[in-house]
Amino acid sequence: MTDSYIKRFAFLASFIFISKFVFTANATNSLRDTAISPPLITTKYNDTFYNSVLEAAMGIAQPYLLQQKYYTMPGVTVNGNALVYNGVTYPVSEVYFNPGTGYYIPSSSYAQYGISNFKSVWPNQCPNAFYDSATHSFNAKIDCVGFGTRLLSAIGGTTSSTNPYLSFIARIKTNNTGLMASKGFVATAYEFAVDFPTLKTAPKPGWAYIAGNVCATSVIDGYNKTLQSGLGTYNGVRKGGFALCQPGDVMAFGYDSTSSSNGHFMILETKPQLLDATLLQTYYPKVSAARVKSFSTAHKVYAVPVIDDSGKSAHFNDSRTSYSGIGHGTVLIVADTADDAPVGFIFSPGTSISYSPVDTSHCYAISVGRYVSAAQLPVTFSSFEAKSSNEKVVINWQTATESNVSEFNLQHSIDGFSFNTIFSVKANNLGAGNYTSTHKYPNKGANYYRIQTVDIDGVISYSRLVSVPFVNDAERLMVFPNPARDFITLQGTCINRVTVFDSRGTIILNQAIKESKNSSISVGKFKAGIYHLRAQASNGECYSVAFVKE
- Tell me the C-alpha distance between 132 and 108, whole Å: 13
Neighbours of 98 (CB within 10 A): 14
Burial 12-34 (b: 16+ CB within 10 A, else e): beebbebbeeebebebeeebbbb
Neighbours of 308 (CB within 10 A): 28
pLDDT at 366 (0 to 100): 97
Selection from 200, 198, 196, 164 nearest residue 183 by Cα? 164
Q: Is 74 exposed, middle or buried, given 0-12, 13-18 or 19+ CB atoms closer than 10 A?
A: exposed
Q: Is the dihedral of CA 180, 44, 3, 528 positive or negative?
A: negative
Q: CB–CB of 320/310 below 8 Å?
A: yes
Query: What is the distance of C-alpha 232 from the center of its chain?
Result: 32
- Tell me the C-alpha distance between 78 and 73, whole Å: 10
Contacts of residue 456, Cβ cutoff 8 Å, sequence gap at least 6: 404, 405, 406
Selection from 16, 26, 20, 15 nearest residue 65 by Cα? 26
pLDDT at 74 (0 to 100): 73
pLDDT at 41 (0 to 100): 29
Concatenated DSSP letters for 102-158?
A: TSEEEGGGGGGGT-TTGGGT-SSEEESEEEETTTTEEEEEE-HHHHHHHHHHTBS-S
Q: What tens digit of pLDDT does each residue of 227-256 get?
A: 889 999 999 999 999 999 988 999 999 998
Contacts 24+ apart (CB under 8 A), 4-9: 4/133, 4/134, 5/133, 7/88, 7/133, 7/136, 8/131, 8/133, 8/136, 9/47
Instruction: Tell me the angle at which helices 3-22 and 53-67 cross, rounded to the nearest 10 degrees.
Output: 100
Q: CB–CB of 366/343 below 8 Å?
A: yes
Bond from prior residue into 205 cis (ω within 30 degrees of 0):
yes
pLDDT at 378 (0 to 100): 65
pLDDT at 26 (0 to 100): 32
End-to-end alpha-carbon separation of the chain, Å?
4
Domains in the chain: ranges and CATH: 3-153 (no CATH), 164-374 (no CATH), 377-469 (2.60.40.730), 473-549 (2.60.40.3080)
Coil vs helix vs strand at 256: coil
The single-letter code of the amino acid at 503 is S
Neighbours of 96 (CB within 10 A): 23
Can you list the residues of the chain whose pLDDT is less than 50? 1-47, 472-474
Parallel, antiparallel, or unpaired for β 137-142 and 88-96?
parallel
Q: CB–CB of 296/290 below 8 Å?
A: no
pLDDT at 493 (0 to 100): 63
Q: Is the dihedral of CA 197, 269, 322, 151 positive or negative?
A: negative
